[in-house]
Amino acid sequence: MTNPVNPHIVLEELCSRATTRTSLALNILHEVLEQQSQSETQDFSIATVGRLSGEQGGPSTQTIRNRTGKHFQQLIEAWAAYSGTTRKKPLSVRQKQLLNNNDKHIQESIDDPVIRAVVGTLIAERNKYRDQLNILKANVDIVIDRRTNNSPDRSAKTEQLTPMEIEALRAAVSSEFMEENNWVIMPTGQVKTHNGVEVYKRGYVNAIRKMVSV
């Protein structure tokens, strides 16, 4: 799994293309998120983060949820991933107890000690993979093709590219290649090192992905 991007780098990237007022709001939100990352619950849900942010003069829950609050959501996602969790509200103590009791009840209903041990191992594996799946879900970018039949076909842009060239371009922006070089892709398509040094300018990754997606 690719290492999560340092949220301090994400903040710098977001502020570099934001107004002074938005940059101030992002910095307040950033401080709130950093505090949440050090808390016991690590609650990065928009409802909780927005309430805490609003109390400190930052963006409120509704502001973050608005269509214009995408940059706030990106910062929250960065902090959640960096902390090894998601934006989904953590289970309450009561909910965790119910889940644990259900798992315990299943194990206790099995008489054979060997089978009971195997089931216990499977339950532990299920919980681990479920947590990993939730983290992946929180960091997946969904692209919706909204072109109509009258829209120009982008395949015309790739007619002169050979399959080998297309594959080379795909490899150049793949997550494996980025991870091998210790690079990260910013929301604008810019590529940076984990220390924040620019490798490729903004739009680089987005442009290549458009070229090879037919």
pLDDT in tens, 152-191: 544 444 457 777 778 888 888 888 888 888 888 888 888 8
CA 66 – CA 214 distance, rounded (Å): 31
User: By C-alpha distance, which of 182, 93, 73, 80 is closest to 136?
Assistant: 80
| Phi/psi at 84 (5° precision) | 80, 30
What is the pLDDT at residue 108? 66
pLDDT tier for residue 100 given thresholds of 50, 70 and 90: low
pTM of the complete model: 0.49
User: By C-alpha distance, which of 210, 207, 77 is closest to 145?
Assistant: 210
What is the pLDDT at residue 73? 93
| Amino acid identity for residue 115 in this structure | I
Mean pLDDT of the chain: 79
